[in-house]
Amino acid sequence: MHRLSQDTRRKSRLLSPSFPTLRALLFVGTILSLHGIAISETLTLEQCVEVALRKNRDILAVRERMIEKKGALISDRSERLPQISVESSYDREYYDTEDSTWTDYSSHLRASQELFRYGQTPSQTFTLRQEYRKARYDYLKTMEQAISDVRKAFFSVLLTEEEIAARGEMLMEFEEKYNRMKQRYEAGKVRPIDVKEAKLEVLDERLRINDLKRNLRSQKSNLLKVIGMLGAWTPDQLQLVGSIPEGDFKEVSEDSLKAMVQKALENRAEIAELASAVEEQRKQLHGTYWGWFPNLTGTASYRHERTEFNLQITQTGKLWRSALFIDHPLYEKHSDPLLRDGDWRVGLA
């Protein structure tokens, strides 16, 4: 009897899991239980559009291209921004006579600012404008197309869900009819073929509902693809909130149609692109008239105490620039001033 109790305790120790094993089993069970739980993502049409504008791959690609072209255009215009620099120089000369060492060193703060320019637009600037305008047009068109695709996919899902709900009600009616037919058949009031036809109606309706559910999953996947969240969310997680708009185009008044046409003329990307292209071509045509303008450059300088101001008009091709240059010495030795305080110097070429 004692030997039997010892064997029983030994078997119970072998069969009973240890504490770490229980913890591991509990962890695995929790993971498996949570695996089947899908976190629902409830979205409205406006939220779907907002997500698409932030996550759609096509929009992100054309937006990056537009930013790149805009950066190139800004870089081309950077010469119009104020320029500030600090320059230092050191010069030392030796002669054969006594005390022959001569040293000259200075440090200057220089600033310049383009005041205005006139003349023909440089070809490089014209090309950069065209590229940026084309990139911006592609960006607007891609956004319009993405928003349109989101609306189509969103309402397709809602339509399919409504159809599934309607056919679900029909299925309940067919099942009730089938149950009645079975009861009447048992009472001897209908033929067997009538019961089979009622059952066939139930099976056909279930088949249609299953097809609609597969289509619904495909439509949700398409919507996730359009908004750029196909990899992050699953179709089973997506829940849409909204209603299908109802209305008849025939009820729109003539005044409303005129307002819609005017709004389209103001907001369509194609029209804005054509208007910008026409304006750019007009500027290019107007720039050819500068060929009749005489070549002219000039400069004017003024010195106030130690600061020198210089106004210059320069010409590059058929483009004239007017810029102001300021030179203020921070420290200098043996520098002969070009102008004395209060002196003017004007040149015209």
Per-range mean pLDDT, top range of 23-32, 78-87, 190-199, 297-306: 190-199
Q: Where are the alpha helices (DSSP H) in the chain?
A: 2-15, 19-35, 45-55, 57-77, 123-186, 192-227, 254-267, 269-287
141 and 267 housed in the same domain = yes
Measured on CA atoms in the order 227, 232, 235, 238, is the torsion positive or negative? Answer: negative
Q: Exposure pattern of 292-321 as b/e (b: 16+ CB <10 Å)?
A: eeeeeeeeebbbeeeebebebbeeeebbbb
pLDDT above 70 (res 90): yes
**Which band of pLDDT confidence, cut at 50, 70 and 90, is reported for residue 136?**
very high
| Confidence at residue 34, expressed as pLDDT on a 0 to 100 scale | 41
Query: Is there a contact between 299 and 268 (Cβ–Cβ < 8 Å)?
Result: no
**Which band of pLDDT confidence, cut at 50, 70 and 90, is reported for residue 332?**
confident
- What is the per-residue pLDDT across 230-271, written as a single tens digit (0 to 9) for each? 888 999 989 999 888 876 555 656 667 777 777 777 777 777
Measured on CA atoms in the order 180, 182, 188, 191, is the torsion positive or negative? Answer: positive
177 and 239 housed in the same domain = yes
Residue 316 pairs in a beta bridge with 319
Give the alpha-carbon dihedral of 246, 248, 252, 258, to 10 degrees.
90
To the nearest whole number, what is the mean pLDDT of the chain? 80
6 and 57 housed in the same domain = no
pLDDT above 50 (res 319): yes
Query: Is there a contact between 38 and 234 (Cβ–Cβ < 8 Å)?
Result: yes
CA distance 280 to 313: 26
254 and 168 housed in the same domain = yes
63 and 6 housed in the same domain = no
104 and 204 housed in the same domain = yes
Query: Is there a contact between 106 and 89 (Cβ–Cβ < 8 Å)?
Result: yes
Q: Which residue in 203, 209, 196, 197 sits closest to 169, CA to CA?
A: 209
Query: Could you give the percent of the chain with pLDDT greater than 70?
Result: 78
Token pair for 247: 């209305």
In the Cβ-directed half-sphere of 296, how many Cα atoms lie within 13 Å? 8
Q: Which residue in 41, 61, 45 sits closest to 229, CA to CA?
A: 41
The residue range of the domain holding 295 is: 43-348
pLDDT above 50 (res 36): no
What are the distances in angstroms from CA 296 to CA 144, 302, 309, 313? 49, 21, 21, 8
Q: How many domains does the chain have?
A: 2
DSSP for 113-127? EEEEEEEPPPHHHHH
pLDDT above 60 (res 18): no
226 and 123 housed in the same domain = yes
pLDDT above 90 (res 46): yes
Pick the residue with more confidence: 102 or 55? 55
CA distance 36 to 232: 16
Query: Is there a contact between 119 and 320 (Cβ–Cβ < 8 Å)?
Result: yes
62 and 89 housed in the same domain = yes
276 and 306 housed in the same domain = yes
| Confidence at residue 334, expressed as pLDDT on a 0 to 100 scale | 59
47 and 173 housed in the same domain = yes
Q: Which of 18-27, 194-203, 294-303 bottoms out in mean pLDDT, i.e. has the lowest?
A: 18-27
**Which band of pLDDT confidence, cut at 50, 70 and 90, is reported for residue 272?**
confident
CATH number of residue 51's parent domain: 1.20.1600
Total length of the chain: 349
180 and 248 housed in the same domain = yes
Token pair for 95: 């002669």
109 three-state secondary structure: strand
**Which band of pLDDT confidence, cut at 50, 70 and 90, is reported for residue 22?**
very low
30 and 144 housed in the same domain = no
- pTM here? 0.67
Compute φ and ψ for 299, nearest 5 degrees: -150, 150
CA distance 228 to 56: 4
